[in-house]
Structure 1
Amino acid sequence: MAQTPKSVSRLESHLGYWLRFVSNHVSHSFMQKVESRGVTVAEWVVLRELLEGGEMRPSDLAQKIGMTRGAISKLVERLCVKKLVARQASSSDGRVQQIELTAQGKRLVPMLAKLADENDQQFFGHLTSEERQMLHGLLQSLVKTHGWKELPVE
């Protein structure tokens, strides 16, 4: 068996390795949970943003979550087919489209949010409140330091 030179760091010595390890498991678990309810993680992000922001233009939603207009259009179309989102012409300018959650979408979002809460509890529930706050703060600091804006949808 070949020996690794001491100057080559081990995979396990990298924070990125551990972040990816944890992220993969947490994300995969959540993906399975929301897909069991008929939506993708990207669709969940759109639904959650519409619940908070109310009726808006697709271009505003795209900017808010850091996606292209084309990607948002595809997601909105899928959500319209699923009757979770409705699209209509703006009352002030018929050329502009507005999107909003349907009644069915408004009922689904809290159920999906509960799945997100349960997923967090499953993976991070063993941490103390202080440890969770510290981890949350450290991750937010990384996002802020690097100026990341796009919401994680995959």
Structure 2
Amino acid sequence: MILDTESTGLYDGEIVDIAIINHLGKMLLNMLIKPSIVLPPEVTEIHGISEVMVADAPTFHEVYPTDAALKDKRVLIYNSAFDIKILNYCCRLHTLPILKLAERADCLMEWVAQWAGNWSYYHSYYRYVPLNGGHRALLRLHGYF
């Protein structure tokens, strides 16, 4: 499975968009999610998701049972540390069990950094390659993977 999310921000951000595709590129989940906070305008500029778009969307609590799509599966995530942090935050916010993805997730951002070979001697690791442009989670999955 390949997963991507968009959120309300970097710190204590809530998921506003989630997409999951399988290894063949078949969409398993593609959904906007209504956060409990107002979407900051600077975040809307990044991913293009507005308050109007999420106004009638389900909440994370309503979407959570879709975890069955991820159960016992290896999950590939671009910037897995960030998406797992945001997913866990949303689980805690809605008093839901943590998804425990960390032990079965691989970070595609690290793979791409190694493939690109952009080594930082200063930091002693491969530099991450950002995915540019406004995007929704599913478009990013299909556009880059």
TMscore range, shorter length: 0.3 to 0.5
Normalized against structure 2, the TM-score is what? 0.33
Name which structure has the greater RCO, CA cutoff 8 Å, separation 6+: 2
The answer to which structure has the higher helix fraction is: 1
Structure with the bigger percentage of strand? 2
For the pair shown, the structure with the greater C-alpha radius of gyration is 1
